[in-house]
Amino acid sequence: MVQPKLIIHGGFFSESNTDAATKLAKQESMKRIVSLAHAFLLKHSALDTVVYACELLENDPLFNAGTGSQIQSDGSVRMSASIMDGVTRKFSGVINIQDVKNPIRVAEQLMAYDDRVLGGEGATAFARNQGFEHFDVRIPQRIKEWEIKAASQGKGTVGCVALDAAGKLAAATSTGGKGFEMVGRISDSATVAGNFANAHVGISCTGVGEDIVSASLAAAIGIRVTDGMPLDQAYKRSFAELAAYDGFAGAIALTAGGEWYHLDSHPSMVYAFTDGIFLDIF
């Protein structure tokens, strides 16, 4: 039996105010969420756990996903989220979905369908048909930021990678966008550039979506590990490619052997890891 482990991220500290109180609040929230998610993992699969962890992160307005998502240029919120099962290699996701509390749960429902990635109105309509009620995720802080054009620079996402007792991996990622983007802009979070898992490794990314897509970051790391490259070297090679255009990204990962890793190109990504005994938070 494998020792269950998981790692989560909450975007970058620069996603909101970087004062000491906010930084501490994010760290405390990550500690709470990673502990709850690990307890859940002990009785559930990696796939179920990454969804559960992302849901907890989406529900916390400190993070840019679900409640607290960034507001786009037209005053609306459009979110993206995805899941990838390392066993079946199935990928499901929603892109630019609106007015739902937990996009990651909608992505979870899509796993059972042949058409597993939906965007825009289609994604929102699917959510309604599945019983997901209308929910306005805009919080006063985000509305104020939008009104005074003072939002952060859009480097936020949440994610989780889990390894369960059966040795199975899964990854999930959710984002509320970068703020003030053009209507129709697509992030990396519901693509394999930002969320990837197979039998060898799972990766979830955060940062500037366009930079992550240009590097195919999660998939690039994953393929290199699958081909036999050590995890740290796969990261260094992939982030070197990102550095060629000063790409802004962070990524967390777990391997089937229980090795975990994190790296960001610019300070500082919020993350937490636990195996039930050891806990690491930044």
264 Cβ partners below 8 Å, 6+ apart?
Answer: 12, 207, 249, 250, 251
Q: Give whole-number Cα distances, 113 to 92, 116, 118, 149, in Å.
A: 9, 6, 11, 40
The interaxial angle of helices 231-243 and 217-226, nearest 10 deg, is 150
Cβ 127 vs Cβ 102: under 8 Å? no
- Listed in sequence order, the residues at least 6 apart from 120 whose beta carbon sits closer than 8 Å to its beta carbon are 78, 95, 96, 97, 184
User: How far is Cα of residue 221 from the mean position of the Cα atoms in its chain?
Assistant: 16
- Tokens standing for residue 206: 């955060």
Count of alpha carbons within 13 angstroms of residue 266, beta-carbon side: 19
Q: Is the dihedral of CA 265, 262, 256, 175 positive or negative?
A: negative
Backbone φ and ψ for 28, nearest 5 degrees, come out as: -65, -40
Does the bond joining 35 to the residue before it have cis omega, within 30 degrees of 0?
no
Token duo for residue 2: 């494998």
Q: Which of 124, 157, 191, 206 is catalytic?
A: 157
> Is 18 among the residues known to form the active site?
no
Provide the 10 A C-beta neighbour count for residue 149.
8
Residues serving a catalytic function are 157
